[in-house]
Structure formats: structure tokens, C-alpha cells
Amino acid sequence: MMKEHNPWIDRFGPGLTEDQIRERVRVDARPLEGLAKLPAEQAVTALGECLSQVFVPTAQVISALTGFIGMARAYSASAFPSMGRYIRQIYQSQSGQACRLPTCLTGLAGVGKSELLKALAKVMPADMELNVQGHAGLQATSLLSFVMQSQVGAPGVLRQRTAQGWADLPRGGLNAHNIYRDGVSLMTADEFQAVTAGGSANAVATKTLMQMAQIGPPLVYCANYSLVHSLLKRPQQDRQRLLSNAVVIHPEAADSDDWRLTLTELQKVASRVIRIDPERDAADIHSYTAGIKRSVIALLSTAYRLARASGKDHFGMTDIQQAYASADFWTHRNDVEELTRQAIGNGSRGRRAALDLVCPFPGARQPQRVVVANKMVESYEDRLNEEHLRSSLTRDEREGLEALTVKPPARKSSASVARLPKRGSRRDELLAGQAEFLKSLRR
């Protein structure tokens, strides 16, 4: 007997290979020309925007996308086993399929979680019309994507992604019957931390997640570490339902091919302007950014701003080093220094832990933790030796060196610079002194 055609399963086809996923979701650099002809700040903005558009599908991204597609396919096989079952179900008043545990997609702010969810839309099956006898106008939509709005209260916190952009949900919000009728196999919700602005916000986030999980299709919700830490304070039953499944996106390791490829693609945006060697400079740039893409873009943009202010139309590692120590990069630098301390098990040094920077799933923390810490220490020791060499120069020698070094415009600062002792330091002292040393580079 011929096997019955099942459009909800057949839409997934034989499955995409990793290479096919990579080709579908990658966003290559769009080369910029004529930046030098633009006013400085306009050029900096243009550079930052183009850098932000680049998307390199790393091994972590491919793994996550493959898993999400598998979840959607498995649900389709379970919820839509036959055409007959589908027709019977759409005429029943149902509360949805059995409640499934949602999946928490988390990671440091700026590592690319939202980009990953956007990429998911490129590898999920396209919308299609259903050929159901006696039922015209039915179609199957594999993916529904939502973004949270910053308003407290379960009704109205969601907006739906459409072909025209983000739109408010229809009256009545999410309806399990309509979701099933439309053949939805996966739902995603981005920026879930947006609802956590208020005293009862954690309860609102929990209630909204529970409501969405009960609709039927698997739910992937995106949240920063801070929200996950808040959810960990909820009662046991809530924690087990909301946090049992987690996908953690980490910054790429400094010595990884994905990290070097990311820098290579970013440089292609303006290769005449960004004078770096992705192979040679990968470790240094990683030590300035902790491998966080958003911080990399901010660092490169800041370096270009400083270069333009000093009359140059390009920048290199000297400018990047100065950008790291600048006021413009202050917030990113604080995060990098805290992550550096965490890498050697010395985070927050007597202060309350910066929970928005601490992975709430201990078993999912980076396996390269020790390797990364060693590289940070080695990088810092190299800079420490350079500082000692600078301090041993005569006045004439220092003036000659400063004449060869391009400095950014002077900025007023109330911060003091602490000199490091010229003696062997313990590992934690080396990492703890990284910020003070880098500030001294501005002298």
C-alpha cells in the first residue's frame, strides 16, 4: 500500500547537512568604500552598522540550529501523524497538545543569540498551502517568532515577526487551536528579559512562559544570564519546567578557527581601514573583548573614531589598544575584566557577583576555561614586561618613543593609575591588575 502523503513531515525534506545550513544562514561582509570621504562620526556609524550585519555560522550556531530543526521535525511527526487526524483535530475545541518543557537559549549579552534566532528562519521549511479536500485556504507555517515587549502583564507582551517586520498579535493573542490549524512546529521568543522591569516581573515572565509552553509546539525562549538567575529563585516546580532544557552560546575561544574566521569576515567590511592580521592578532583582540562579537564591533568602531580624530583614515593594533583603554569603551572593558577574573576562578573579588556575566548552568561553562585563562595570563605578562621596559627608559628615550606613538586626543579623567610592582606576581594578581596596566597605556 502506498504511504500517505504527510505535508507536515515532508516539508522538512531529507534534512539539511551542516554545510547546507552554513551556506543558508551566513551573511558575508558588504565591503564599504569611501569612508574617508565621509564626516568622521558618519563614517564610524556606517562602519559599525556594516560590521553588525556580518554573521559567521560557528560550530555552536550550527549545532543549535540542527537541534532546533530536529525538535520541530519530531513535533510535526507527533502532532500531525495523518491528514485524517489533522482534520479531526481542527474541528475540536482543544487546549493544545501536551505541555512540553521549553528550551532556554542563553548566553552573555552580545554573543549573537538574537542573530541565531533570525538565522533559524532561513533553515526552517517555508510556508506552504495545504491541499485538504473541502478545506480551502489552509496553510502550514513551520515557525512562529516573537519578541517580548517591555511592559508588565501577561497580555500584550508579545509581538509577532512577519514578512513586513514586527506586528502586534491579533486580538485574542496566542490560540492553541489556530496554532495547530496553521501547522506550527516551533515557536521562538526573543528578548525575554524585556519583561523583567518591575517588582513582579519575574512572576510575569514565568506566567508568560508557562502559557506559551502549553500551546503545543516546542518553545525556544531567549534570555540573558540575569533573567535565568532570577528564574532560579522561583519555586522548584517553576525551575524544573523552565530551566531543564538549556542551550548556552559561549564566546568563541581565542585559538579557535571560528574566532579567526569571524575576525577575517569583519575585516573584509573595510580591509583598507581595518589594518589587522586575523591570525596574528586574534589572541590580543580576544583579550580586549572576551570573544564577544558586540564588544569586538564596539572596539573596532572606537579605534576608528580615535584614528579619525588623529587625522588618519585607517587603524591598526596600536589604535585598538588605545581604544580599549578609552572612555568610549568603558562599559565593555569592565565586563571583559570581570570575565577575565572569572576565567581564573577569582570573579568579583570580594564584591557581589556580577550575575549577568556568570553562566547559570555550571555544567555548560566553557571547557576551554583553563586554556583561556592561561592565554590571558600570558598576554598580560607580555604587556607587563613591556611596561617595565618603558619605565626603565631615560627621559630622552621615553620622549622619543612617545613621538613615534600616535595618541588619541586627551580626555579628562578622574581615574588614578596604579603602578604595578616590579616583582613576580601571583596568577590572580596578574589578572586583577590588567585594568590598571591597560589604563597606563594612555600616558
Q: Are 179 and 218 in contact (CB under 8 A)?
A: no
Share of the chain above pLDDT 90, in %: 53
Please give the model's pTM, rounded to 2 decimal places.
0.80
Which among 430, 431, 441 has a CA at the least distance from the CA of 405? 441
Mean pLDDT, residues 132-159: 71
Mean pLDDT, residues 341-365: 71
pLDDT tens for 220-248 read 999 999 999 989 999 999 999 999 999 99
Confidence of residue 163 (pLDDT cuts 50, 70, 90): very low
| Mean pLDDT of all residues belonging to the chain | 80
Query: In this predicted structure, which of 112-121, 195-204, 253-262 has the lowest mean pLDDT?
Result: 195-204
pLDDT tens for 25-54 read 999 999 999 999 999 999 999 999 999 999
Label residue 113 exposed, middle or buried (CB < 10 Å: 0-12, 13-18, 19+): buried
Three cell numbers written together for 197: 522591569
Spacing of C-alpha 364 from chain mean position:
16
Instruction: Give 192's contacts (C-beta < 8 A, 6+ positions apart).
Output: 148, 205, 209, 221, 222, 223, 227
Which among 353, 295, 352 has a CA at the least distance from the CA of 324? 295
Angle between helices 282-289 and 257-268 (to 10 degrees): 90
What the chain holds in terms of domains, given with CATH numbers, is 59-249 (3.40.50), 257-440 (no CATH)
Instruction: Give 310's contacts (C-beta < 8 A, 6+ positions apart).
Output: 406, 407, 408, 409
Q: What is the pLDDT of residue 206?
A: 86
Which among 171, 160, 69 has a CA at the least distance from the CA of 123? 69
> Does residue 210 or residue 311 have the better pLDDT?
311
pLDDT tens for 387-438 read 445 555 556 555 655 555 444 444 444 444 444 444 444 445 554 455 455 4
Three cell numbers written together for 358: 556568570
Helix/strand/coil for 148: strand
> Does residue 154 or residue 364 have the better pLDDT?
364
The residue type of 108 is L
